[in-house]
Structure 1
Amino acid sequence: MSWQLQRRLKKWLTDETGTIIKDWGGKIPIALVYPNRYFLGMSNLGFQTVYHRLNQMPNVVCERVFLPESEDMTAARSGTGPLSVESQRPLADFRIVAFSVGFENDYANLVHLLQLGKLSLYSSRRRQHEPLVVAGGVATFLNPEPIAPFIDVFLLGEAENLLEEFTAAWQEAQDENASREEQLVHIARRVSGAYVPSLFRVENDSEGQLISFEPLTDIPAKIPVRTAAIEAEGPTVSTIVTPHTEFANTVLVEIGRGCGRGCRFCAAGFVYRPVRHQQGEKVVQAALDSSPAGRKIGLLSSAVSDHPDIDAICLQLRQTGARLSVSSLRADSVTPAMLEALRESGLRTVAIAPEAGSERLRQAINKNLTEEQILNAVTAVVGSGILNLRLYFMIGLPTETEEDIEAIIQLVKRVKHEQLVIGRGQKRLGTVTLSVSSFVPKPFTPFQWVPFSDLSILKRRIKKLRRGLGAVANVRVHADVPRWAYTQALLARGDRRLAPLLATVAEENGNWSKSLKMVNVNPEFYVSREREREELFPWDFIVHGVNKDYLWHEYQQALAGATTEPCEPEVCERCGVC
């Protein structure tokens, strides 16, 4: 066992508050694995929620496992592999190894962790005594197929109801001394939302396109994604607080789930339908119950400023001395009361997401913001005393032209002008930071049919942004690496044939270029190909409730530059969810 790795884990434990330590006697030991570093995993409220809910079960002991830090990797390879934080046990000591996967680019890390833990890599090769390997998280209920050969069971959907049903079904199979295959069949039949890849036959035609996806036994052919009644459950709050995260020493509180705006690029706006808001009073009470006076509280939602009680939430929390933070604000729903609460909390930067520079392109992606609304939001933010702005943009969007890139430059210059005018009046000047990402088409969105943009075009447009804004004082341009977006596009719409590639990437320490040369996979088939309307997708067996015909209609609306009104669950039935 690596003493270096043990020391790091014990240091994390010492610095945490809220850690749950349970005795193993008579309980189901579950390793909850985040396929990335501790810093990122502990910043993820979904991961923390699953940890808390599993440990609430009297018959379960759940411990966390993370991808070892770079300096610990050699020791992890030569020793027992990754260890749990709570008791420093290896993966093989647990009966269930459960991965929480929020991002496609972590798929290779998941495979690497199985290798480091010395578990059989493929589900088909796992023996009776080995842990059951489970996976969940939003990436898996968008498209689990690239990692399907490695996983015994996927739990598709929101964890609130799934976890107890799954552990009960697993225990029933244990009580019957069922074989591994019998366990999987029992879980697939017993748990709505459980997807067992080994129980499905996949067939492709000579061109490589999927033509059949059928169950091999008497189980559902379509898997429904489970949705939780979070309003009845009450707000989700981070269990563990630590300084070693993106949100250092911050209690995270989920104030809502989903978004009704219907931005056509955004998976969260479609797979978390209908939008659900927590009651403002419950949010305030949950935040206060989970944090001492004066602690920082992070309010989380796909659209924080769209919450109907956001002003009251901010005001009441500030009255208790809490310091507030938010991820980003919608430009057309920023309020003076919310900004005042954020300024008083010491927030120095507010993020706004125009996503596109021209109003034409914003309409095409259904980001219904006018330039006037964006500039009014800038005026409100800077006028409140929060001087620094972060603006989120995407490049490579469907129908994008060079004129749309120029429009980003001109919009940012106008934003900077507004910031300067107000800042000079306050005798303080702020910065504008652009975060530029390459658009990746995602399943269950209207853009699931479109190809990923050419890498050379993306690189050229990033250069154009840097040149166009390079001479503007106090404007910074941060752009992602298009090659990584290409990899994400490959995994987002891939299928089981990518599994050997992921295994090779893990063996080659993340070297994608080398791995692609070693494995017989054509990435362009997945990344750069426009899909036909009737094509059967690898993820079509998953049921979110949104009609595929509706998504196609929204795609055609995008091409026509037409907008769609926000989702109103009480009166609207157009997408099929309500």
Structure 2
Amino acid sequence: MSWQLKEGIKKKLTQEVGATIYAPGARQAMAFVYPNTYTIGMSNLGLQILYKEINASGFAACERFFLPEKKELALYQKQGLPLLSMETQRPLDCFGIIGVMMSFELDYLNFLQMLMLSKIELLAEQRDTYDPFIIIGGPCATFNPEPLAIFADAFVIGEGEEVVPNILRTIQDGREARLTKREILASLARLAGVYVPAFYEPQYVDDAFCGMKVSSPAPKRVERQWVRKLDQHTASSSIVSAATEFENMFIIEVARGCGRHCRFCMAGYCFRKPRARALDKIIEDIKNRPPSSKKVGLMGAAVSDYPYIKELTAFLVQHKIAFTVASLRADTMDQALADALAASGQQTLTVAPEAGSKRLRSLINKGITEDDIYKAVELAARAGMKNIKLYYMIGLPTETDEDITEMIAMIARIRQKMTGVGNKGELVISTNAFVPKPFTPFQWQPLFNLKILKERFKRLEDAFRKDRTVAIQTESLKETVLQAALARGERFIGEALYRAVTQEHGNLKAAFKSCKIDYEKYATRILDMSQVLPWSHIDIGLSDDYLTREWERAEKLSYTLPCFEHCQRCGVCGGNE
């Protein structure tokens, strides 16, 4: 019964502090979809920031939708009910605008299943003016929107704070003026940072993608938007809840973007330039956080690079405010930071070497040494942190068996170092396969040979199988292959996604097969560095040859310095402000 679902939603609302609820009809209503469960979605700071920004716009009301948990989903399906919003328990199909936060490729199917459950047409071309407009944003929308292009009316390319309000007004004005859907889409295409797939037709020669045929009024390339003045926008959790991955945690963004130039990292290229928030603004937000928030989470691509990290952590310690960070760079760790984290109850120091050999760390431009990690282990031990967690990737470009040998030896040495400084805690090694992403110097490289990947993961696990002080965590290679196929996918990949939810009961592998797409071969394909890429119509601000030059530097194991003020190397800051 629908009352059971409504009561379940209302129960979640009672665990929240900060939700904004407007009476239906009081403002232009926008549904905000996160294509995963409430627990995961409400832990996403990007969703929280946009939720607050939209509600603060003065004319729009934002209502959240999440993928139901298994029991709830079964009830929805049994009753044939559309998804209900958190705020007013209204169905998704009654909202004129649906915004989607797309952070992970493996959530694509969840998004389509949520639309199907709500009886909303999946294909954009089948929705009319007064059907919901579906707008997709988030990291996946920015670096490669094509696999979802047949479903979306428009994409937000880049950061949404200054783009989304313009989209909402444009759609509202168009409907009030009784414009056709095509006319409203044309108005959207004129907005900075808005990609409207209806005006872009993929072109092929001998089955090879060769560019987009662009129709007026859309631009040939859509420019990524990024916020120049972060302090003018929301920086922290708008809602604190006990029912998230970070229970009652107040999350605050201390900085955005990363200037370290790690060559595998999409976020490092798609969120340039690096920007730090003002210390006084952060402290003010922390002081004004809800009383129910037990801990503060410091968020950023490289938190320990925040220029005022010492002052911020000193404030937190002085006022006895518990805090945590996701991970730290080993080369920026110092005793004061380690002590502050330990005093806040953090028992695990998390560091990401990413690669186990010096050669591969040079290839990816990581910029940390094994000695940096030893130092971090010592600092953590002195501070009283018991456990160390290290992130590694297997299958990086040019990787050999010798690199895995060095990784195993490195892990063993770190374990010995922990024991040597009196740390008897656990060493956790979290590993995943490298997945090539668009707009990185590795975008042309393939997902590594699957047979070799399996062998190397097994070799790592076998090396520490008898050591109870070392825990090896690995991810599903089956999911890795699907992620890789979607990450660099062309528009026709959307056909497989469509078939997966309409004919194959959510089985994407079966859908690829029925579409005659060898997804493993597709995921492991090498892209020609001279060819036009499926995402070439997106302009993230990098100069045309920058990624090529960075790949050449990677091959030479050359180090690229971090971003610095007035730098013009990549093109993002050079004359674009």
TM-score range, shorter chain: over 0.9
How many Å separate the matches in 1 of 2:88 and 2:24? 10
**1:84-483 equivalences in 2 (<5 Å):** 84-189=85-190, 191-206=191-206, 208-233=207-232, 236-292=235-291, 295-423=294-422, 429-483=424-478
TM-superposed deviation, 1:80:
2.1
Shift of 1:4: 3.1
User: Structure 1, residues 310-348: CA drift from partner, whole Å, max 9, x if none?
Assistant: 011011022222100000000000121111111111111
Aligned-partner Cα distance in 1 for 2:358–2:307: 26
- The Cα shift of 1:294 comes to 7.5
Counterpart Cα distance in 1 of 2:509 and 2:177: 47
The match for 1:555 is 551
- 1:168 aligns to what SS in structure 2? helix
Cα deviation per residue 1:284-327 (whole Å; 9 max; x = unaligned)?
22122124397200000000011111011011022222100000
1:486 aligns with 2:481: yes
Quote the Cα distance in structure 2 between the aligned partners of 1:52 and 1:235. Answer: 7
Equivalent residue for 1:18? 18
Distance 1:335 1:509 in 2: 51
Contact 1:294–1:323 (8 Å) recurs in 2:
no
* Deviation of 1:178 (Å): 0.5
Aligned equivalents of 2:82 and 2:510: distance in 1? 25
**Partner Cα separation in structure 1 for residue 292 and residue 382 of structure 2:** 28
* Equivalent-residue separation in structure 2 for 1:176 and 1:527 (angstroms): 45
Residue 235 of structure 1, CA deviation:
5.6
**Preserved contact between residue 225 and residue 542 of structure 1 (Cα < 8 Å):** yes
Can you list the C-alpha shifts for 1:237-292, whole angstroms capped at 9, x where unaligned? 00111111111110000000011110000011111111111122221221221243
Deviation at 1:202, TM superposition (A): 1.3
Name the CA distance, whole Å, in 2 between partners of 1:34 and 1:419. Answer: 40
Asked whether the 8 Å contact 2:444–2:526 carries over to 1, the reply is yes
Match of 1:140, SS state, is helix
The equivalent residue for 2:571 is 576
How far is the alpha carbon of 1:24 from its aligned partner?
Answer: 2.2
AA at the equivalent of 1:108: L
Q: Distance in 1 between the 2:514 and 2:4 partners?
A: 34
8 Å contact from structure 2 (residues 189, 217) kept in 1? no
SS at match of 1:529: coil
Matched residue type, 1:538? P
Deviations 1:429-483 (A, max 9, x none): 2101011011000000000010111111111111101111122231100001111
The CA distance in 1 between the partners of 2:73 and 2:235, in whole Å, is 33
Counterpart of 1:55 in structure 2 is 55
Q: Contact 1:143–1:493 (CA<8 Å) still a contact in 2?
A: yes
Instruction: Extract structure 1 runs of 4+ deviating beyond 4 A.
Output: none
* Letter paired with 2:101: S
SS in 2 for 1:496: coil
- Asked if 2 retains the 8 angstrom alpha-carbon contact of 1:423 and 1:430, the reply is no
Counterpart in 2 of 1:546? Answer: 542
Once residues 139 and 229 of structure 2 are traced to their aligned partners in structure 1, the CA distance between those partners, rounded to angstroms, is: 16
SS at match of 1:545: coil
Quick check: 1:533 aligned with 2:529?
yes
Amino acid at match of 2:291: P
- Check if 1:566 corresponds to 2:568: no
Shift of 1:234: 5.2
- 1:49 deviates by 0.9
Question: What amino acid is aligned across from residue 18 of structure 2 in structure 1?
Answer: G
Letter in 2 for 1:49: I
What's the % identity of the aligned pairs?
Answer: 38
Whichever residue aligns with residue 527 of structure 2, its letter is R
> What amino acid does structure 2 have at the position aligned with 1:405?
I
Distance, in Å, in 2 between the alignment partners of 1:300 and 1:480 is: 24
Report the counterpart of residue 510 of structure 2 in structure 1: 514
Which one-letter code corresponds to 2:17 in the other structure?
A: T
What displacement does 1:164 show? Answer: 1.7
8 Å contact kept, 2:249–2:293: no
Distance 1:61 1:419 in 2: 52
RMSD over aligned Cα atoms: 1.5
TM-score under structure 1 normalisation? 0.96
Aligned-partner residue type, residue 75 of structure 1: L
1:496 aligns with 2:491: yes
- Does structure 2 conserve the Cα–Cα contact (< 8 Å) formed by 1:293 and 1:322? no
Q: Distance in 2 between matches of 1:321 and 1:61?
A: 36
TM-score, L = length of structure 2: 0.96
- Contact kept, 8 Å, 1:162 with 1:193, in 2: the verdict is yes
Asked whether the 8 Å contact 1:215–1:221 carries over to 2, the reply is yes
Describe the shift of the 1:571–1:217 C-alpha distance in structure 2 as closer, same or farther (beyond 3 A): closer
- The unaligned stretches of length 5 or more in structure 2 are none
